[in-house]
Amino acid sequence: MDNLPVDEAKKLGADIVIAVVSHPAPPKDPGALNSSAKIAGQTAAIFIEQNMKPNQEAADLVIAPDLNGFSSLSFPEAKDLILRGEEAGQKAAPALRTLAARIAESRPLVTEDQEPNRRAFGPPPVFQALRVEGGTTEDQRWVRELFAPLIGEAYSRERLQALIGRVYESGRFNLVKFDFERTPAGDPHPYRAVVLLVPSKPSQNVVFLGIDYQGSFSSVMQSDLVLSSALMLRGFTGPNSALLLSSSMVNRIRAGLEYFQPLGPLFIKPWLRYAYEYDVFASESVPITISSTYRTFGGGTWVGSVLGKDGDVMVGYSLENVLLGDNWLDMNPKNAGALRFSLRYDNRDSAVFSDRGVSFNLLGRWFDPHFGGILSFVQSEASAMLALPLGERGTLGLSLFGGTDFTPFFENALPAESAYFSTLQHPGMFYGVGYQTTLNTGNDVLALGLEYRYRIGRINSLMGGDVFLFGNTSVAGLTQQSDPATYDMFPLKFDVSLGAGARLSREFGLMTGVGFLGNLNETQNLGVSFFIGLGSFTGGRVEDKR
């Protein structure tokens, strides 16, 4: 172990070596060694100090910043460490000048304007052109669009670092390098920016683990917990093929299998699944109730095409055996065959507390006895989310959700046998809704959520983790064909929530807050609810929320 490689530097040809000791000195007070961990640390520090001693003596100058109070894990205190280094450099200035005078006796010194490193401390140069290397054509297009606002404009280092950070945070690259190159002779602009991308190599086989929890506590308590795991195995029938095995438990018991196989510009994705959902809630009159939502098993296949790097479009067929609703005593399962359509697009920078971007999902299903089974109805739903940055720390979020079985619009349309749409647990709206799902389902639903988030800081400057305050207001209307009293979209349901949350990764976060929920009439006012969320905040897949 060579903790101060002065000897190695001289072997490489350096005749003058300035060494900087970046290890804190061992404590001299015996009273500080009050635990086995501190004693072990002291032992290691003494070993390292003895190891460095010969090289310290061989260096022409040794600079030792005062690092008391820091350790090898003090990454969040990087700014304070830099200040300690600057202070040590200022104290060593007389010795540096003496060393420079000694060097000047044998060769000319490099002047300040000849030192390339000093230019790095000035304002970054304005560039009129940008070149992107590495990655796919889509990657290069995305990076060009990201950096385009800097072309021809003065910009700060912080803004440049933020853009590089966004490229890193996409998770698609192992290295993102920003540099400048001189343009060919005759070009009126001296510099061109270069962004080098080194794509991440996906692991051949991947294991996923996840947890989602949503709970609300008021006069009615509701709790929803899902533990998930999945295994992805790649390359069985080509470099881009993949087998995904997934399972989840607690409030959603699921097991699934799907296989992705590219076929030129198209892909095919057959799938099998078993799923069972139930709600757990409690009220003042009922201590705990378990309400079965649905059970289904079956399979199908999708055929689709990728739309750039952010979307896809698919058509498919499914045949499933389903049990719907709470009354399972008669045990009357029904076969359901359907043609399916799906259109998805998502270019948000994060699935949790997005700073910018848009997502859109459209799903349609046509159940008919001609396709197998006995159910007959048509269902369609659409959801969209938009995130707009407001200043350096603020974000405005807009969420839309709509679904219908077309009964109010077409005379011959058949209503779904169960209320297939729910305003509950939809991302970006109705936080902490603490009452039974049946009060929020309908054959036709339209919902809107508006949210403002303000980033107040970071959990850790090394690992990241943004902390937010947010306010959300949501409004929704629904109809139920089985209940003439609620055939109209009114009264509207509403929710106003205030809370705080943290984005720990692009796919995982936590939130807590207080919401005021109710209908826009005074007879069914639901009052105040305290809510907690953990995971991706997406709840169940809407297509399966029955």
Same domain (yes/no): 282, 146: no
The whole-model pTM stands at 0.68
In-domain check, residue 124: no
Per-residue confidence in pLDDT tens, the chain, 546 aa: 567 888 888 888 888 889 888 877 666 666 666 666 666 666 766 777 777 788 888 888 989 888 887 776 676 677 788 888 899 989 999 998 898 888 888 888 777 666 666 666 677 888 888 899 988 887 888 899 889 989 888 888 888 888 888 888 776 788 889 988 887 777 777 778 899 998 877 667 888 888 888 777 777 677 778 888 889 898 888 878 899 999 988 877 889 999 999 998 899 999 999 988 765 544 444 444 445 566 889 999 999 998 887 889 999 999 998 876 555 555 677 888 999 999 999 888 888 888 888 999 999 989 899 999 888 888 888 989 999 999 888 999 999 988 888 876 666 667 665 544 554 456 677 776 644 444 445 577 888 999 999 999 877 655 567 899 999 998 888 776 655 544 455 567 788 899 999 988 777 889 999 988 777 654 455 578 888 888 876 543 322 222
* 222-259: burial string, b at 16+ Cβ within 10 Å, e else: bbbbbebeeebebeeeeeeebbbebebebbbebebebb
DSSP H or E stretch at residue 81: helix 78-91
DSSP H or E stretch at residue 56: helix 36-58
Same domain (yes/no): 194, 212: no
| Rounded alpha-carbon distances, angstroms, from residue 338 to 182, 315, 377 | 61, 11, 9
End-to-end CA distance of the chain: 63
In-domain check, residue 260: yes
Residue whose pair of structure tokens reads 């109010």 in the numeric block: 408
* Rounded to 5°, angle at Cα 374 from 370 and 378: 70
Same domain (yes/no): 451, 467: yes
The last residue of a domain, from among 179, 199, 219: 199
The last residue of a domain, from among 46, 74, 109: 109
The last residue of a domain, from among 199, 222, 247: 199
Residue 481: strand, helix, or coil: coil
Distance, in Å, from the CA atom of 301 to the CA atom of 306, rounded to the nearest integer, reads 16
In-domain check, residue 123: no
Same domain (yes/no): 301, 446: yes
Same domain (yes/no): 210, 105: no
Number of domains forming the structure of the chain: 3
The domain containing residue 481 runs over which residues?
Answer: 205-544
Burial class (CB in 10 A: 0-12, 13-18, 19+), 515: buried
Same domain (yes/no): 188, 245: no
**Beta strand ranges found along 52-97 (DSSP E):** 61-63
Kindly report each contact of residues 263-269 with a partner whose C-beta sits within 8 Å and lies 24 or more positions away, as own/partner: 265/305, 266/303, 266/304, 266/305, 267/303, 267/304, 267/305, 267/306, 268/301, 268/302, 268/303, 269/301, 269/302, 269/303, 269/304, 269/314, 269/316
Distance, in Å, from the CA atom of 451 to the CA atom of 390, rounded to the nearest integer, reads 12
Distance, in Å, from the CA atom of 19 to the CA atom of 442, rounded to the nearest integer, reads 72
β-strand partners of 450: 398, 473
Q: Are strands 242-250 and 191-199 parallel, antiparallel or unpaired?
A: unpaired
